[in-house]
Amino acid sequence: MVYRGKGYSTKRCTDVERARDHTRIQRDNAGMRQGMAAFVQRPVATLQQTLQQMWNRIRQRDADYENRVPVEEIVNNEINHDDESDDEHEEEEEEVNDLEDMEYNSDHKDDDNTERSETEEFSSVMKDYLKAILDHLQDECRTCHFTKEKKKIKEDDKWLLKYLQQNEFWIREEYCEEMCRRLGITPSLHGYYTDVLVWFPDEKFKMKLVCPTCGSSVRVGVHAYPKKTHGHRVISLLRNYYIISRRYICHHCEKATPKVKYTFMGYKKNSIKQLPRQYSQYFPAMLTHKLSIDKA
């Protein structure tokens, strides 16, 4: 037996498959040509008959449309038939509707007043809570400008900043009563309190912040604590929470000419961008003008 090489069997199989595919393609093309020829060579009478059937269907549809009963007559007949029975019940329904409107309006006003009072109470409770937290943090972080009212507190009384460092700078609502007691305020109902995130990146990450205006961190320090808007409310999927921060100042931009913005809040978008990526990802919200949205 003659040896034809290692790849002879594979090559022979490939040639056979190629010939089989070529035969199948030729057969399909021949069938397609025959079908096109039969379609083109159809008798003209068959085409005319098909067109005539189509026109007959269209005329029948139009005749049915012209012989239809106008909708307006049907509606008028039904209205005239029902007018007599409707007139009898109109007066009774008007009296019942008037009574229901009066009851609904009174209930609706009561509900609005209740919701408004609950919202005002909730906002006042959280406002006092956030203010007490910021005031205590300001006392703990103050290093100069002491007065008789703002005295230097002892090291044993600096408990809040240590608590924040141990809890990732979150104050959970479960500990609101204990927190109120230690802050010296009267606790309200537990349901009025929410979680609070204290965003002090310089204290949390032990780094100096970068000024968004000049891009330098050499002369950046703490400037002030908010007095009017104590916290930023964040809308979350399950429960809302608040973010509080403080204002920082760049002394280099303060003395620059022409005048530029030299103070910034810690949770503003421009200041978050200046943080390293491994730190900025810890900020959990997207801030808008008034409210914020949780990223989760």
CA 110 to chain centre: 32
Give the 3-state secondary structure of residue 213.
coil
Query: Burial of 201 by CB count in 10 Å (0-12 exposed, 13-18 middle, 19+ buried)?
Result: buried
Give pLDDT, residue 87.
Answer: 52
CA distance linking residue 279 with residue 209, whole number of Å: 12
Nearest C-alpha neighbor of 232 from the set 248, 241, 243 = 243
Please report, in tens digits, the pLDDT of each residue of the chain (296 residues total). Answer: 555 555 555 556 677 788 888 888 888 888 888 777 766 666 666 767 777 888 788 777 777 655 655 545 544 554 455 555 455 555 555 554 555 555 545 454 444 554 455 455 557 889 999 999 999 998 888 877 666 666 777 777 789 999 999 999 999 999 999 999 999 999 888 888 999 999 999 999 999 999 999 999 899 999 999 888 888 899 998 889 999 999 999 999 998 878 889 999 999 888 999 999 899 999 999 987 777 899 87
| Sheet strands (E) in the chain | 170-171, 195-198, 220-224, 232-235, 241-244, 247-250, 263-265, 285-287, 292-294
Give pLDDT, residue 117.
Answer: 53
Give the 3-state secondary structure of residue 67.
coil
Q: Are 274 and 210 in contact (CB under 8 A)?
A: yes
CA distance linking residue 196 with residue 240, whole number of Å: 10
Give pLDDT, residue 8.
Answer: 54
Question: How big is the CA angle at 247 (ends 238 and 149), to the nearest 5 degrees?
Answer: 105
